């Protein structure tokens, strides 16, 4: 059915058959007379700050391998986050860093049975793929109707085979955060030999004062791993730079499983420069958050009932109208991300894109939402 012809004798691991295919966000369709906008990948719509572009142009030694352990970047991050540099491990995007955590802590037990990785569903689409590839099996715990994690059910889903739990805050694609109190009581219920990953990809967009910030917690929990990225707030998605923060009992092991040179010299230079200009970066994040608030207010006014939106995206629970909405968006040259008949996720983009999205929601109507 359109797949490659099988080559005799060459077979992928059986686990590949069961993996969902990652569907990257589609580019916007071209509509005569309309600028196209891509609101389908939770990207930062703003082009990199001038200092970062200059720094990239100055990268002259790309004939050499990068620093395999990103020493400069880790030291710069250590200053910013006020943590020791050996509590940080960099990776090829936070997805690369997540794969490292899974490769290190999940797979099969001594008898060849799959370990279990527990996470909320729906959540980031790459989780089932990464978990499947690790050899472990996914235990997906349904979200609450308002798009929040059901932490009680997740704690109950933990068995003697659970090796890793993934928590996503704000949750992609639904948007709500986890509070600090929720995470603290959850951690108290989880055995301390289970690694808990807190995926904070959208941390800089969060404005809820009760939201968890992993940095304030990880020192007390030797099983807690924070996952962070330069792809969203820093707008460096194309360069693939992410990192984990955890205590050395964990980072020592992550260094063993690290893909050597996963962060390129250009990526490292760009990330360091972005941190050098953090005020400018965060001021831009403020404008995106203001846009998010404008979108949420306008949609709420128009009768839409949205879950809490603390990332750079909003989640429309459209059910059976997902297809019609996605089509209507395409007719207006807006690419959005449809998740079956569950919902449509729309990233906060350029001001004009957001305005067009608001108009689309008004005319489409909030019926049944
Ligand atoms: N975690 C979450 C929750 C995400 O939404 C994404 C990107 N969509 C990532 C991790 C991965 O980002 P990156 O690999 O670019 O750091």
Is the distance from CB of 135 to CB of 106 less than 8 angstroms? yes
Query: Is there an atom of ligand 1 within 6 Å of 242 CB?
Result: yes
What is the Å distance from ligand 1's center to 202 Cα?
8
352: left (phi over 0), alpha (psi -120 to 50) or beta: alpha
> Which of 73, 126, 270, 337 gets mutated to test ligand 1 (max ligand atoms within 8 A of its CB)?
126
Distance CA 112, CA 135 (A): 10
- The continuous run of DSSP H or E covering 140 comes out as strand 137-142
Q: List, in order of start, the domains of the chain with CATH numbers.
A: 15-48+279-364 (3.90.1150.10), 63-277 (3.40.640.10)
- Residue 369, pLDDT > 60, answer no
Q: What is the mean pLDDT of residues 51-66?
A: 94
Residue 30 per-residue DSSP state: P
- pLDDT of residue 95 exceeding 70, the answer is yes
Distance 175 CA to ligand 1 centre (A): 13
Q: Which residues contact 121 (CB under 8 A, 6 or more apart)?
A: 140, 141, 142, 143
pTM value is 0.95
The answer to whether residue 109 scores a pLDDT higher than 60 is: yes
Banded model confidence at residue 127, pLDDT cuts 50, 70, 90: very high
Average pLDDT of the segment spanning 350-360:
98
């Amino acid at each position: 059915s359109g797949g490659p012809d099988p080559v005799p004798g060459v077979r992928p691991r059986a686990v590949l058959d069961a993996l969902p295919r990652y569907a990257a966000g589609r580019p916007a369709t071209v509509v005569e007379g309309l600028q196209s906008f891509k609101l389908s990948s939770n990207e930062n719509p703003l082009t990199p700050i001038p200092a970062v572009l200059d720094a990239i142009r100055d990268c002259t030694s790309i004939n050499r391998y990068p620093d395999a352990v990103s020493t400069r970047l880790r030291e710069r991050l250590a200053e910013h986050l006020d943590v020791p540099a050996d509590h940080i491990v960099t990776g090829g995007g936070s997805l690369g860093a997540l794969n490292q955590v899974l490769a290190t802590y999940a797979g099969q037990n001594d008898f060849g049975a799959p370990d279990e990785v527990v996470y909320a569903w729906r959540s980031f689409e790459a989780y089932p793929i990464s978990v499947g590839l690790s050899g472990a099996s996914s235990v997906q715990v349904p979200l609450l109707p308002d798009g929040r994690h059901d932490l009680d059910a997740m704690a109950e889903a933990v068995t003697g085979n659970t090796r890793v739990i993934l928590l996503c805050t704000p949750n992609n694609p639904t948007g709500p955060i986890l509070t600090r109190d929720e995470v603290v009581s959850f951690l108290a219920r989880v055995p301390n030999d289970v690694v808990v990953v807190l995926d904070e990809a959208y941390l800089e967009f969060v404005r809820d004062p009760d939201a968890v910030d992993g940095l304030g917690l990880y020192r007390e929990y030797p099983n807690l791993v924070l996952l962070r990225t330069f792809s969203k707030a820093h707008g460096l998605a194309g360069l693939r730079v992410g990192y984990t923060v955890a205590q050395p009992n964990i980072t020592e092991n992550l260094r063993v499983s690290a893909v050597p040179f996963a962060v390129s010299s250009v990526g490292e230079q760009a990330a360091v420069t972005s941190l050098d200009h953090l005020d400018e970066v965060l001021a831009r994040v403020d404008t995106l958050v203001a846009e998010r608030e404008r979108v949420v207010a306008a949609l709420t006014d128009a009768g839409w009932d949205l879950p809490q939106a603390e990332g750079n995206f909003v989640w429309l629970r459209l059910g059976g109208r997902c297809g019609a909405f996605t089509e209507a968006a395409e007719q207006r040259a807006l690419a959005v991300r449809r998740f079956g008949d569950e919902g449509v996720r729309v990233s906060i983009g350029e001001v004009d894109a957001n305005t067009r999205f608001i108009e689309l929601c008004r005319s489409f109507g909030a019926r049944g939402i």
